[in-house]
A and B are shown apart, each in its own frame.
Chain A
Amino acid sequence: MKPATLPQAFAILLRRDLTLAYRRRSEIINPLLFFVLVTAMFPLGVGADPALLRDIGPGIIWVAALLAALLSLETVFRSDFDDGSLEQLLLSPHPLSVLMIAKVLAHWLVTGLPLLIVAPLLSILLHLSDDAMHTLLITLALGTPVLSLVGAIGVALTVGLRKGGTILSILVMPLYVPVLIFAASAVANSDAGLPVNAHLSLLAALLVLATSLSPAATAASLRISMS
Chain B
Amino acid sequence: MNHTYTAATLEARDIACIRDDRTLFDKLSFTLEAGQAVLVEGRNGSGKTSLLRILCGIRQPDEGTIHWNGGDIYRLATGYNAATAWVGHKDGIKLELSAEENLVFARSLGTPSGLEISDALEAMELGGFDDVIAINLSAGQKRRLALARLLVTRSPLWILDEPFTSLDTHGISLIENMINIHLADGGMLAVTSHHPVGLDSADITRINLSE
* Interface positions of A (Cβ within 8 A of B): 1-4, 8-9, 12-13, 16, 19-20, 23-24, 79, 82-85, 87-95, 226-227
B84: chain A residues within 8 A (beta carbon): 91
Give the interface segment out of B7-15, B25-33, B95-103, B183-191. Answer: B95-103
Number of chain B interface residues as a range = 20 to 34
Give the interface segment out of B85-93, B119-127, B163-171, B174-182. Answer: B85-93
State the CA gap A114–B107 with chains docked (Å): 32
CB distance from A109 to the nearest CB of B (A): 17
Give the interface segment out of B37-45, B63-71, B74-82, B200-208. Answer: B74-82
Q: How many A-B residue pairs have CB under 8 A?
A: 90
For chain A, what secondary structure do more than half of its interface residues adopt (helix, strand, loop), or is it mixed? helix
A91: chain B residues within 8 A (beta carbon): 56-58, 81, 84, 86, 109
What are 7 A-B contacts defined by CB distance under 8 Å? A3-B111, A4-B112, A82-B90, A87-B58, A87-B86, A93-B78, A227-B58
State the CA gap A85–B95 with chains docked (Å): 11
Q: Which of A20, A23, A85, A227 contacts B60 (CB 8 A)?
A: A227
State the CA gap A91–B88 with chains docked (Å): 12
8 Å CB interface, B99-135 against A: 101, 104-114
Whether B94 is near chain A, meaning CB under 8 Å from some CB there, is: yes
State the CA gap A151–B87 with chains docked (Å): 29
CB distance from B207 to the nearest CB of A (A): 21
